[in-house]
Structure 1
Amino acid sequence: MPTTKSKTNPKTTASESTAVQAYTDHYFERGHWLLKIWQTIVGLIGWLAVFIPIIATGLSFWSQYDSRVPRLWSYREGVFEIKFIGIILLFCFVFAALFTLTMTIIQNRKRDRLVEQWPTYNPITQKRRQQLLAQFMTTRFGTPEFRQNVRTYHVKPEQNLDTDAIRKLYQDHDLDELDE
């Protein structure tokens, strides 16, 4: 489907003007009357293909119990099959409802236990740790712009980090305590 360019309003912001329109639908645009008529007819035929069998089956099933209802078909096997499918659907509905209720109870209990607790870390200490780690990496390996834009980088042996280097860094700055 061809895309169309939208006219930019001079009052729009820069972020709105750079937004890309991923698709267009000519059905909802002005004009295109033949397209609208054709797609509407196809849509109506599709809905008729859904509702006519449902109505015919419902009337035929209902006519087994009420003689005033017009009967489109009267096969015993068909009525038995409708009852059988009804039982299967009821069975599936019960199990789906049971599963949904059980999972809702489990998730609500989990939320009460985990989500609504106090934070397990101190955000102020976490921010200090991030700043300290950024400063450490800058002094050890260069500026963030350099680290992100360099194609290859050879680490010198003295630049290698020990296994517990970051923990020692936090201990040196009294940021190693448990976050409470």
Structure 2
Amino acid sequence: MAKRNATETDKQQLYTDAFFNKGHWGLKIWQSFIALLGWIAVIIPVVSTGLSFWHSVDPRVPGLWTYHEGVFEIKFIGILLLFMFVFSSLFAVTMTIIQNRKRDRVVEQWPTFNPINQKKRTKLLAQFMDDRFGTPAFRESVRDYHVKPEQNLETDTFQKMYEANDISDLDE
């Protein structure tokens, strides 16, 4: 068995669809037929309802039905949809304004941490984990791992480690 290189592993396809593979003509014809049937089931009622409503306004347009209740219901649904559109638009605009203000106030401020110290902390934590629990390759490949009592961490282990190495949390 040949080894895969890193790019093959990164591009690994996690799903398959027989419709797009070569062959499988029966599946392609069946799924296309079902999709076409679904679109017809959507388009026919919309067109017939639209033509019938238009017929109530202009008698020259052919309509399939002329029930007054149906016309009233379409008008009611139209008003309801307009009402929902107005309120959802108001909500979207309001949330956009709030998020833009929050971004201007919080996100675009000067960072409250020192990026250099962050790199030092990352390296220090990586070294600590390697010393205490083994290499990253071992930690990522092991299925079950039993932590020895002396490997347990105290609540302030990392804080003590930062203080011992003069790495502060905040930029001063």
Equivalent residue, structure 1, for 2:110: 118
Partner residue, 1:89: 81
| RMSD, aligned CA | 3.2
Contact 1:121–1:179 (CA under 8 A) maintained in structure 2:
yes
Structure label with greater radius of gyration: 1
Structure 1: gaps (5+ residues): 1-9
**Residues 62 and 69 in structure 1, CA contact (< 8 A), matched pair in contact too:** yes
- Contact 2:55–2:61 (CA<8 Å) still a contact in 1? yes
Percent identical pairs in the alignment equals 55
Distance 1:129 1:81, change over 3 A: same
1:38-97 Cα offsets, whole Å, 9 max, x none, are: 222211111010000000000000001111100200100000000000000000000000
SS in 2 for 1:151: coil
Instruction: Tell me the CA shift for residue 175 of structure 1.
Output: 3.5
The whole-number CA distance in structure 2 between the counterparts of 1:83 and 1:54 is 15
1:155 aligns with 2:150: yes
Structure 2 CA distance for partners of 1:85 and 1:179, relative to 1, 3 Å: same
Query: Partners in 1 of 2:23 and 2:169 — Cα distance?
Result: 69
8 A Cα contact 1:125 1:175, kept in partner: yes
Q: Deviation at 1:133? A: 5.9
Equivalences for residues 8-157 of structure 1 within 5 A: 14-18=5-9, 20-131=12-123, 137=128, 142-145=131-134, 151-155=146-150
Q: Is the 8 A contact 2:52 2:66 kept in 1?
A: yes
- Cα contact 1:63–1:70 (8 A) shared by 2: yes
Structure number with the higher helix fraction is: 2
Contact 1:167–1:176, Cα closer than 8 Å, also in 2: no
For this pair of structures, how many residues does the alignment match? Answer: 163
SS of aligned partner of 1:155 = helix
Gaps of 5+ in 2: none
Cα distance, 1:17 vs structure 2: 3.4
